[in-house]
Amino acid sequence: MSDRKHSWGVRDCHAEFSEAETLMMYRRASLCRYFETYLRDLMESRDMGMPIYLSLGQEYLAAALSVAFPGCSIFGQHRGHSFYLSYGGDIHKLIDELLMKDTGCCQGMGGSACIADPNIQMYGHSGLLGDQVPIAVGAALGGHSKVLSIAGDAAAEEDYVLGAIGFAATHKLPVLFVCEDNDLSILTPVNVRRSWKITDVATSFGMAAIDIADDPWTVMQTVREIQTLPYYMNVMVCRKLWHAGPGNDGPPEWDRHELVLKKMRDLHLDKKVQEIDGEIKSYVESTWREHLQRQ
Amino acid sequence: MERTLAETIREYTRIHLLENNGLLLAQCVAAVGWIGGTVPELTEEQGIIELPICDASGSGFACGAALAGRRPIFIVRYQGFMWYDCVSLINYAAKSKEIWNTPCPIFIRSIAMEGKGIGPVASSAQYSMFMRPPGLQVCAPMTPHEWGEAWQWFLDHDDPIYVSEHRLSYSTTEEASNTIRDDARITIIAISAGRINAKKSVKYLSEEGIACDLIHLMWLKPLKITDEMRASLSKTGRGVIVDSDFSIAGASRSIAYELMHDTGAKVYAFGLEDRSSGVSKSTENCTPSPQKIVSYVEELLRK
């Protein structure tokens, strides 16, 4: 049985962050959520012409990292919209890429799985599961001073990912490895695929590692407390929708957004949350409409 | 005294590491005389990175180092290992500039060897598979000057390049020149170690009264069909590509196809046989020997 739960490793640490930091994190998560909610609705009404990988449900991890770990090179994977947007990637170019236009962030050649933006040092992903991890490590070897490597729980099983984690540990390279552990390789859960934990592997390679759930304050606090890189964070997240496409197979194990909203009410930030949501929703919808009208 | 090919590679590498902030990534660098004497005896601080034996990761490290602007030299000591090592070279380095407008320049030194009981795993050249995906230049230099030409191309461009080397060439000091004869009956275009054997076979055939043109081919992709190739094939009406890689779906058949369409001459492909190489003399699968090339040419001329 899986031991996943929304409170795994979660710390009561929201007080460690200023209101401004908390609202910045929330704003970025809101951008990701409304962007993908609009996209999901669009996908339900029309054929987008290519596979699209939505990260709805997982957006708080990207938003929290963008606040706590800024100014890094980013090597993401196929489910990357939230990282792209949280770190300030060009929303117009992302929409164009998703609409299969030459003006997209990959010139219409990458699609949803391969997005990149040089202005935020986000490098493209080839689509080959996990190959961004050794490339991220190579960038650190080559001199990049702060590298974020994002992979999923399935990519953690790729031999070249394991080799890369070991190499980063051996050479003490400045890489923050983040695993978006949604417990699924398409539909196959982790405990069917393997009997080991990636954090045990990372620890045995000689780097600090942690398993936590995607509570954004816990993510930010964990990053803040990192003493040295490389470091491995396995973050349990819930993908709300299909591997590719807008459908779902029932409710997720937990809804991080609802949990965050509750915490924001406890922090008496509900009014500001409403303002942010209203502003972001309006911005995202008008931006999407503007691009769709140009088609 | 003229430099050997190995000495030439070593010197270009030394300059790249010490003066250009370059990197060299390979497994077991210090082994077997620093990779056939082609690598300068420098330290990690000076840019030599000993890779762990996780082949598929290594090419990813090279890609990352290239993205960081280090123009790495990535060495694979046996081309047969490329079936593991090719992952990020083909899926990332070759695509990066086209898809993301982000150059990923890597000088891929891929070393072929054959015979001497090397057997089925590590033997022969494997450049053909790198000619298929877009985004990679492919060449097989066999002389000091040719290697320098490949290196200069790398410095002048921001693309990855696959450089197939052959162990048989490392002691070479001599440059290659084509043989063109008015009375040639066939055009032999040779690649990699095929050039060494083709040269011997052309000499033998000449002694037998069969004149041949011999053209050395270094750049495999993009293929540059020269006026000399066209003139020779127009004159002889038939040709053969002698290759150190497998013929089926390989460089030799691909180039023969291009030349046939370009010139109208019949061009054949003669490379490795479609079988695994063994270690014994009877089961090895090597670049066609001079004797085999002679027999093949005589058979073609009888047709």
pLDDT in tens, B131-156: 999 999 999 999 999 999 999 999 99
Confidence band for B92, pLDDT divided at 50, 70 and 90: very high
pLDDT confidence of residue B120: 78
In angstroms, rounded to a whole number, what is the distance separating the alpha carbons of residues A163 and A242? 30
List pLDDT tens digits, range A108-123.
999 999 999 999 999 9
Are B123 and B199 in a shared domain? no
Mean pLDDT of chain B: 96
Are B164 and B255 in a shared domain? no
Does some domain include residue B39? yes
Q: With a cut of 0.90, is the ipTM above it?
A: yes
| Residue that has been written with the tokens 């942010």 in this structure | A276
Cβ distance A163 to B56 less than 8 Å, yes or no, reads yes
Are B207 and B235 in a shared domain? yes
pLDDT confidence of residue B287: 95
In angstroms, rounded to a whole number, what is the distance separating the alpha carbons of residues B165 and B177? 18
Average pLDDT for residues B57-85, to the nearest whole number?
96
Domain of B285, in residue numbers: 186-302
In angstroms, rounded to a whole number, what is the distance separating the alpha carbons of residues A235 and A177? 10
For A165, phi then psi, to 5°, come to -65, -40
Pairing of the two strands A231-236 and A208-213 = parallel
Does some domain include residue A228? yes
Q: Which residues pair with B212 in a beta bridge?
A: B186
Structure tokens at A55: 């990260």
Three-state DSSP class for residue A204: helix
Give every CB contact of residue A192 below 8 A, 6+ residues apart in sequence: none
List pLDDT tens digits, range A65-92.
999 999 999 999 999 999 999 999 999 9
Mutate which of A141, A145, A205 to test chain B, going by most B C-beta atoms within 10 A? A141
Sequential DSSP letters for A253-282: S--HHHHHHHHHHHTT-HHHHHHHHHHHHH
Does some domain include residue A3? no
pLDDT confidence of residue A4: 82
Pairing of the two strands B73-76 and B107-112 = parallel
Mutate which of B61, B104, B108 to test chain A, going by most A C-beta atoms within 10 A? B61
CA B74 vs CA A94, B127, B154, B253: distances in Å: 34, 15, 13, 28
Are B161 and B19 in a shared domain? yes
List pLDDT tens digits, range A150-174.
999 999 999 999 999 999 999 999 9
In angstroms, rounded to a whole number, what is the distance separating the alpha carbons of residues B22 and B66? 9
Does some domain include residue B13? yes
In angstroms, rounded to a whole number, what is the distance separating the alpha carbons of residues A48 and A40? 10
| B131 interfacial to chain A (CB closer than 8 Å) | no
* Last residue within a domain, chosen from B169, B198, B217: B169
* DSSP 8-state class, residue B2: P
- Chain A residue numbers touching B69 (CB-CB < 8 A): 142-143
* Last residue within a domain, chosen from B169, B197, B216: B169
| B88 interfacial to chain A (CB closer than 8 Å) | yes
Cβ distance A160 to B68 less than 8 Å, yes or no, reads no
Give every CB contact of residue B269 below 8 A, 6+ residues apart in sequence: B240, B241, B243, B247, B250, B252, B253, B255, B256
Pairing of the two strands B107-112 and B24-26 = unpaired
Q: Residue A240's domain is classified under what CATH number? A: 3.40.50.970
| B121 interfacial to chain A (CB closer than 8 Å) | no
Pairing of the two strands B238-246 and B186-191 = parallel
- Chain B residue numbers touching A133 (CB-CB < 8 A): 60
Are B113 and B26 in a shared domain? yes
Residue B217: which region, alpha, beta or left (left: phi > 0; alpha: psi -120 to 50)? beta
In angstroms, rounded to a whole number, what is the distance separating the alpha carbons of residues B88 and A49? 27
Are B128 and B250 in a shared domain? no
Does some domain include residue A28? yes
pLDDT confidence of residue B110: 97
Does some domain include residue A103? yes
Domain count, chain A: 1
CB pairs under 8 A between A and B: 121
Q: Which residues pair with B266 in a beta bridge?
A: B238
Structure tokens at A119: 């202005």
Are B19 and B146 in a shared domain? yes
Are B215 and B162 in a shared domain? no
| Helices and strands, number each (H, E), in chain B | 12, 11
Give every CB contact of residue B68 below 8 A, 6+ residues apart in sequence: A138, A139, A141, A142, A143, A144
Average pLDDT for residues A248-272, to the nearest whole number?
95
Cβ distance B57 to A163 less than 8 Å, yes or no, reads yes
List pLDDT tens digits, range B175-217.
999 999 999 999 999 999 999 999 999 999 999 999 999 999 9
Domain of A118, in residue numbers: 14-290
List pLDDT tens digits, range B223-267.
999 999 999 999 999 999 999 999 999 999 999 999 999 999 999
Mutate which of A94, A160, A161 to test chain B, going by most B C-beta atoms within 10 A? A160
Does some domain include residue B292? yes
pTM across the whole model: 0.95
Sequential DSSP letters for B116-167: TT-HHHH-S--THHHHSSTT-EEE---SHHHHHHHHHHHHH-SS-EEEEEEG
Does some domain include residue A8? no
Are B196 and B62 in a shared domain? no
- Secondary element (H or E) of residue B246: strand B238-246
Cβ distance A163 to B68 less than 8 Å, yes or no, reads no
Domain count, chain B: 2
Does some domain include residue B128? yes
Q: With b meaning 16 or more CB within 10 Å and e meaning fewer, what string describes B109-141?
A: bbbbbbbeebbeebbbbbbbbbbeeebbbbbbb
**Closest residue of B to A75, CA-based?**
B64
- Side chain identity at residue A121, one-letter code: Q
Cβ distance A126 to B92 less than 8 Å, yes or no, reads yes
Does some domain include residue B20? yes
Our CA-based measurement puts residue A290 at a distance from the nearest CA of chain B, in whole angstroms, of 25
Higher pLDDT, A250 or B27: B27
- Chain A residue numbers touching B60 (CB-CB < 8 A): 131, 133-135, 137-138, 160, 164
In angstroms, rounded to a whole number, what is the distance separating the alpha carbons of residues A223 and A212? 12
Does some domain include residue B49? yes
| Residue that has been written with the tokens 């406890």 in this structure | A266
Are B113 and B258 in a shared domain? no
Q: Residue B99's domain is classified under what CATH number? A: 3.40.50.970
Q: With b meaning 16 or more CB within 10 Å and e meaning fewer, what string describes A87-100?
A: bebbbebbbbbbbe
B189 in Cβ contact with B228 (< 8 Å): no
Are B17 and B162 in a shared domain? yes
A129 in Cβ contact with A113 (< 8 Å): no
Confidence band for A2, pLDDT divided at 50, 70 and 90: low
| B69 interfacial to chain A (CB closer than 8 Å) | yes
Mean pLDDT of chain A: 95
pLDDT confidence of residue A1: 41
Average pLDDT for residues A119-130, to the nearest whole number?
96
Structure tokens at A163: 């080799």
Mutate which of A72, A73, A128, A135 to test chain B, going by most B C-beta atoms within 10 A? A135
Three-state DSSP class for residue A190: helix
Average pLDDT for residues B98-104, to the nearest whole number?
97
- Side chain identity at residue A175, one-letter code: V
Does some domain include residue B70? yes
